[in-house]
Structure 1
């Protein structure tokens, strides 16, 4: 399955970038995020959700702890909303400044056997990185992701260095994949994207790891606590395959309920692949049958794996 990708590839992830400056930045984030962040240190990265008052996901955020500021990376279309939320509810006596860095930073993810050629001088240090750490190389922030079937490297860089990085990758035979190829890669290795979680309850889309009920209040916490106390999931995120291609959207299931296809890859004669949200009652079955007669094979449940070293 995984050998359908180029041996060495890279992809530019469209993201939003927010910088928080001031000594009370972490304290402020602790009030709004679904995870505990107060004990993280310089050189760490942390993942969390920002939810609305109804407990639905606004965005998945990755926070990099830098010396005098916090760098927050989120979905490209959610940046303004995230910054608006982070800019409200700041006590008058706290030192917090929220800045828009969307036009200053870019993000690339790469994977392959030739990564050592890209990072000759720091490759040994990269190999020693934990998923919750990052290191600095010039003006670039480098981190690893070992949570999936293929290890990948993430690079955050100044926008004006993007072409330099691309030239180096191309020189070393890395292929730039397009959005369609990236979506197939995500489906195959189980990377959850904004398309899966946007405006959804975290428990229904494999994001339970990023909801910590033992921390203080945050937006949506009451809803999450109520759902957890019931102790019963109603939906779950799964990977599926099918001989037919179906566009992203909702489809009725013959046994009742519906599937919401969040990401779809057209196999064009081979099996098409999907990420989708299904009623929990189908999760132990081998397949679901839609009311139009199309069969979809349920391959596995997809859950987010937290990199946070403190829970």
Structure 2
């Protein structure tokens, strides 16, 4: 599952065409990506109250038709998964990484008091998710009488059985569509008729590195502060798994690692690599540029931000391009 974040030192209003011109002509200017995800429904009048005890953010007072973002961490304070949450009447739809659905549902099913109305349901076999990028997203919305300007980052709208939300925070605006599995082929056919082409995983990987959309693989098992996710950790809320660890780290105030974008003339697979000056770079996402430069998301010791390049003991050099920070939809919560 993708996570939308801005990259430091990049203007938020850059036009899609400019970004794709930087990438190359291999990625179409209008495209969609079939993002394989997991879906969980939490329903009952106490659904938000229950989630408040588990999430790293405050959600109990969030209104209907809101879109909320949060984390679930383990007892060691490390990220289990990132959650994109759609608030409905006495019900929430949670979108997570496709490999973590069963674990998330298991965690959500624990600790429900006998006198609370909460039910956890599996939606994996009935819901699909598509991400759309288009020079003019209003073309996608014209049939339902909405415009991009009318849809706030922290809300979602309903179009029949479909749920639509817009991300305006990255270098490129994108539309997220949640839809019944039964109509997926019809939607894909409709997009193709509009010359909105489907891209593969490698093309998507390249696009999201350039535009700052980090993935589950970049944050799983990490301390939130080390991967730019500290904005989704609310220290002034009630207890949640991992809070004691987070509080201890925050009180020390010394961040040791940071998530960055990297470039290199050589390709490296995801993994850990030793730096000559000491420490390691952890490559969490890697795109093979072939004859061009390869692109990466990586976690590095924060001291290396002052250096123009990283020299690895395997002889490969990497340039740090940007720091990646997460900007939450629910900053007002």
How far has the Cα of 1:115 moved from its partner? 3.2
Using the alignment, how far apart are the partners of 2:287 and 2:294 within structure 1? Answer: 6
Counterparts of 1:212-231 in structure 2, within 5 Å, are 212-231=234-253
Match of 1:117 in 2: 139
Match of 1:83 in 2: 105
Q: Tell me, which stretches of 5 or more residues in structure 1 are unaligned?
A: none
TM-score, with normalisation over the residues of structure 2? Answer: 0.91
How far has the Cα of 1:301 moved from its partner? 0.5
How far has the Cα of 1:74 moved from its partner? 0.3
Q: Secondary structure at the match of 1:228?
A: helix
Match of 1:133 in 2: 155
Using the alignment, how far apart are the partners of 2:251 and 2:145 within structure 1? Answer: 46
Within the alignment, does 1:275 sit opposite 2:318 as a pair? no
* Alpha-carbon contact 2:38-2:101 (below 8 Å) kept: yes
How far has the Cα of 1:212 moved from its partner? 0.7
Using the alignment, how far apart are the partners of 1:125 and 1:97 within structure 2? Answer: 35
Within the alignment, does 1:291 sit opposite 2:291 as a pair? no
Match of 2:120 in 1: 98
Q: Tell me, which stretches of 5 or more residues in structure 2 are unaligned?
A: 1-18
From 195, 206, 211, give the equivalent of 1:184.
206
Higher RCO (C-alpha under 8 Å, 6+ residues apart): 2
Within the alignment, does 1:63 sit opposite 2:85 as a pair? yes
Using the alignment, how far apart are the partners of 1:182 and 1:168 within structure 2? Answer: 20
Mark the CA change 1:178 to 1:169 in structure 2 (over 3 Å): closer, same or farther: same
How far has the Cα of 1:121 moved from its partner? 2.8
Match of 2:164 in 1: 142
How far has the Cα of 1:305 moved from its partner? 1.1
Using the alignment, how far apart are the partners of 2:169 and 2:106 within structure 1? Answer: 31
Provide the aligned C-alpha RMSD in A: 1.1
TM-score, with normalisation over the residues of structure 1? Answer: 0.98
Match of 1:262 in 2: 284
From 221, 235, 239, give the equivalent of 1:199.
221
| Number of corresponding residues | 311
Using the alignment, how far apart are the partners of 1:145 and 1:83 within structure 2? Answer: 26
Within the alignment, does 1:17 sit opposite 2:35 as a pair? no
